[in-house]
Amino acid sequence: MTGSAWLLRRLAASLAIIFAVVTFIFILIHLAPGKPCSENLEPRICDLLTHQFGLDQPLAVQYGRYLVELAHGNLGMSFSLRRPVLDALVETVPFTLQLAGAALALDFLLGLGLGIYQAVRVNRLPDVALGNATLFVYSLPTFWLAPILLLIFGEKLRWFPVGGASDPIFCPAVTSLFCVADRLWHLVLPATTLGVVGAAGTARFQRAAMLEVANQDYVRTARAKGVPERQIVLRHQLRNALLSFITRFGLAFPFLLTGAVLVETVFAWPGMGRLAFNAILTRDYPLVTASALIASTVVVAGNLLADILLGVADPRLRVQAAAEADIATA
């Protein structure tokens, strides 16, 4: 199959990119000023610890050791948490994926829906009103929106919890349907904060993409065939506008992950973003590189997913990719 050959090549390229990112982060964090020891630690003990963790070795040696350990699936010991990095990540990554997944769904489902709706009603009142509303929301900074939502819906109205991912007394673990609902209830505010600004951007983007397609010759052809307007928009225009939408989808992942750091901090969400942020402050080298590894994997996977979706949605790319793979395997 030519399609699977293409996929293999893309997977290999993805691995190379992740490797490069991890290498880059490893070098960068070691070159950054500051030490893993806290300032009020006795210098003697700091030196001891530095030696114990092998941080007095040349950078190349440390990097080599790191790669060997990584190849064995060992991400190292966290300096600050004093426990294996892997354990800390296994605990926190699912929460970040939950948060980012919910935000992603909100961003793209709401954004897509609004954009299509605006394109159908273009230049009429609903379109103009939504156009202004999305511009307003899009211009809100997340660092402002997060505490404001927390203040209004958590503190004043008390509709949603002010922090955490679950109720610590009734649902420390998901043991019942009630606890699933509890998790979702806790998810609402952080996911909205993280997703709504993106949704506004997506809506504006999707509206523009739909209208750009509206002027294409093939839309006129469809109209000349007697296709109803609704079908023209939802079939002929949407399928073509989805192509740029998918590209945008692939580009959204880095912003979701960086946004997660802030949102997790404000909402006390026990995710990886908060963990990575603290790791950077404490110069927790193993934890920083491991977080970068996870983040780059998510970003690269997101892009790969977008490319695969694009291949499904755009027949021109499908054939081109097959031809490229033919050349590569020949």
Partner 1 sequence: MTAPAAPAAPAAPPVLLRVRDLKTYFVTEHGKGTARAVDDVSFDLFPGETLGIVGESGCGKTVTSLSILRLVPEPPGHVLPGSLIEFEGRNLLALSAPELRAVRGNQIAMIFQEPMTSLNPVFTVGDQIAEAAIIHQHLSRRAARARAIEMLRLVGIPDPDERVDDYPHQLSGGMRQRVMIAMALICHPKVLIADEPTTALDVTIQAQILELLDRLQHELGMAVLLITHDLGVVAGHADRVVVMYAGRVVETATTDALFEQPTHPYTEGLLAAVPRIDARRARLHAIPGQVPAATAWPPGCRFHPRCPYAWEKCVAEEPPLLDAGDGAGHAARCWLVTEPERRVPKR
* Nearest Cα residue to 247 out of 209, 298, 197: 209
Q: Please, what is the minimum distance in Å from the beta carbon of residue 240 to partner 1? A: 6
Q: Is 238 exposed, middle or buried (0-12, 13-18, 19+ CB in 10 A)?
A: buried
221 lines the binding site for partner 1 (CB under 8 A) = yes
Interacting span for partner 1 (CB under 8 A) from 30-38, 114-122, 163-171, 226-234 = 226-234
Q: Please, what is the minimum distance in Å from the beta carbon of residue 242 to partner 1? A: 8
Listing DSSP states for 224-238 in one string gives: HHT--HHHIIIIIIH
240 lines the binding site for partner 1 (CB under 8 A) = yes
Give residue for tokens 């939802």. 234
225 lines the binding site for partner 1 (CB under 8 A) = yes
Listing DSSP states for 189-216 in one string gives: HHHHHHHHHHHHHHHHHHHHHHHHHHTS
Q: Is 77 exposed, middle or buried (0-12, 13-18, 19+ CB in 10 A)?
A: middle
98 lines the binding site for partner 1 (CB under 8 A) = no
String of contacts with partner 1 for each residue 198-217, x by CB under 8 A: -----------------xxx
Which residues share a beta bridge with 251?
A: none
Between CA 262 and CA 249 the distance in angstroms is: 21
Q: Please, what is the minimum distance in Å from the beta carbon of residue 135 to partner 1? A: 24
Interacting span for partner 1 (CB under 8 A) from 101-109, 138-146, 153-161, 224-232 = 224-232
Q: Please, what is the minimum distance in Å from the beta carbon of residue 238 to partner 1? A: 10
Which residues share a beta bridge with 77?
A: 84
Distance, CA of 250 to chain centre? 9
227 lines the binding site for partner 1 (CB under 8 A) = yes
- Measured from the CB atom, is 268 or 322 closer to partner 1? 322
170 lines the binding site for partner 1 (CB under 8 A) = no
String of contacts with partner 1 for each residue 298-317, x by CB under 8 A: ---------------xxxx-
Among 133, 184, 223, 281, which residue sits at the site for partner 1 (rule: CB under 8 A)?
Answer: 223
Rg (the chain; Cα; Å):
24
Q: Please, what is the minimum distance in Å from the beta carbon of residue 239 to partner 1? A: 5
Listing DSSP states for 294-330 in one string gives: HHHHHHHHHHHHHHHHHHHH-HHHHHHHHHHHHHHH-
Which residues share a beta bridge with 84?
A: 77
168 lines the binding site for partner 1 (CB under 8 A) = no
**Interacting residue ranges for partner 1, rule: CB under 8 A:** 215-218, 220-229, 236, 239-240, 243, 313-316, 319
